[in-house]
Structure 1
Amino acid sequence: MSLTNKVAIVTGGSSGIGAAIAVKFVTEGAKVAIVARNEKKLAEVAKKCEINGSQPLLIIADVTKENDAQRIIETTLKKFGKLNILVNNAGIGRSGSILDKNYLVIFDEVIATNLRSIVYLTHLAAPNIIETKGNIINISSVASMGILGPTSSIYSTSKAGLDHFTRCVALELAPKGVRVNNINPGPVKSDILLNAGFESAAEGIIWEEAKNMTALKRVADADEIADLAVFVASDKGRSITGASLVTDNGTLLQ
């Protein structure tokens, strides 16, 4: 298997893309620490991992809290003794007009989760990943490359910042044998809409609109993103670093 004996941390692993990556990594032979705030959902992902390979390490943590971020790294190293792969997947989706009175409140919340937490966790993990000559995968979005709507400035800015951070760190760590990449999905079916505060009744309508935004007229499944993550994390992706790998069903073509 392509990730045999590799140790990975996957944040935001209780649902959606993060959960799919955790299960796929375990299937490919990795030992995985799954990080999330929702203990119940995390336990459900753990069951899927056990069926497909091995029991993961579950870490209940908020990536925006520095003490929690430190605990994520320390707990993983204590359990597995090393770290090969960091998948920074935890993120939130929010929208807002620049004219809104609470625009900066939303902006600070999104930046704290989608960018600052990744910067800090990467800072903590990098020395250990250098030791194993491993790699880092950041889950970004096509929102970093295009304007998806008139009130998308907060989310898009957070992901554009993430893309550039990835390129900078990729260049810095390349001489040390460490690869750093982005995966930039288009619409992916998950519970991101419910987590963002949308009513369940509106969810179907929004996914249908998302499908029509793509050239291929389809919304991706989380497993598709996980397949790409496995490729990038494995030796098959050994020549890829500093890349933003778009998997969007042609969203950016529209």
Structure 2
Amino acid sequence: MSFNNKVVIVTGSSSGIGAAAAIAFAKEGANVVVVGRNEEKMKNVSNKCESFGKKALVVKADVSNDADAKRIVNETLNKFGKLDILVNNAGIAEHSELTSKDFMKSFDRVMNINLRAAVYLTHLATPHLIKTKGNIINISSVAGTVNSGSSTLIAYCTSKAALNHFSRGVALKLAEHGVRVNIISPGPVRTDILDNLSIPNFNWDTFNETTPLKRYSEPEEIADLILFLASDKARGITGSEFVSDNGILIKN
């Protein structure tokens, strides 16, 4: 797949799925906009992109901040003059009990990053994607379809279910302009998000036993799927959800 001179924004691309996607796009010739908050990690991703001959635009930003979201799009246009692909990947998960006094603070934080930020960036990017007949890839989760198994992850599950519905609605609206919108719902992927949840007795070596295929995914596997959906090979696909979960959904 070639993305020669395509312009791609990948949010949450300082590590994990976002980093893998940014690097993969650069390898295929794209001009990549790396978006995140950790400068050291973003620099590392940028250097890997540059090793393929493409110097990434690095934008330090909080996607849940409206001014930062506008800056992401504006800096992209100022640098490259167009936008072809938006990958809404940034996301967080937090444990929070429904009866906790801080529940709503946690709920709002998760929803703002996982859902509202993707909605607002899509709103800002749409006029430019219409010009290029580009496409959007939203990174959801199987948690948007089945309960995560933890009552303390209500906000995360809700945000992903809402992102799925939003994506389908936008896909229908933008189809008339030739803009495609698709969803990827991973199961367990070895990224910081699970490490940061501080799950008691969590161990990646034993975690793979929880899936029917007895494995978890690496970020590069999801990146491969992102590139396929963003490519012309998927030109007839829109409003679809692609699951890569090592069998989680058939188990539930």
Query: Is the TM value for this pair above 0.5?
Result: yes
Name the residue aligned to 1:210. 207
Matches within 5 A, 1:1-254: 1-151=1-151, 152-196=153-197, 198=198, 205-254=202-251
**1:10-60 deviations in whole A, cap 9, x for unaligned?**
000000000000000011111111100111110011111111341100000
Q: 1:162 to 1:104 in 2, by over 3 A?
A: same
How far apart, in 1, do the equivalents of 2:229 and 2:191 lie? 22
Q: 1:210 to 1:161 in 2, by over 3 A?
A: farther
Deviation of the 1:209 alpha carbon: 5.0
Question: Gapped runs of 5+ residues in structure 1?
Answer: none
Secondary structure of 1:52 counterpart: coil
How far apart, in 1, do the equivalents of 2:232 and 2:161 lie? 27
C-alpha contact (below 8 Å) 1:6/1:29 kept by paired residues? yes
Deviation of the 1:2 alpha carbon: 2.0
C-alpha contact (below 8 Å) 1:2/1:235 kept by paired residues? no
The farther-off stretch of 140-149 and 90-99 is 90-99
How far apart, in 2, do the equivalents of 1:156 and 1:215 lie? 21
Secondary structure of 2:58 counterpart: strand
How far apart, in 1, do the equivalents of 2:53 and 2:11 lie? 19
Deviation of the 1:213 alpha carbon: 2.1
C-alpha contact (below 8 Å) 1:130/1:178 kept by paired residues? yes
Deviation of the 1:150 alpha carbon: 3.0
How far apart, in 1, do the equivalents of 2:104 and 2:205 lie? 30
Structure 1 runs of 4+ with >2 Å offset: 193-196, 205-210
Q: What amino acid is aligned across from residue 141 of structure 1 in structure 2?
A: S
Aligned residues: 250
Deviation of the 1:95 alpha carbon: 2.2
How far apart, in 2, do the equivalents of 1:142 and 1:160 lie? 9
Secondary structure of 1:72 counterpart: helix
TM-score normalised per structure 2: 0.96
RMSD: 1.4
Deviation of the 1:105 alpha carbon: 1.2
**1:70-101 deviations in whole A, cap 9, x for unaligned?**
00000000000000000000000112222222
**1:112-137 deviations in whole A, cap 9, x for unaligned?**
00000110000000000000000000
Question: Gapped runs of 5+ residues in structure 2?
Answer: none
Secondary structure of 2:190 counterpart: coil
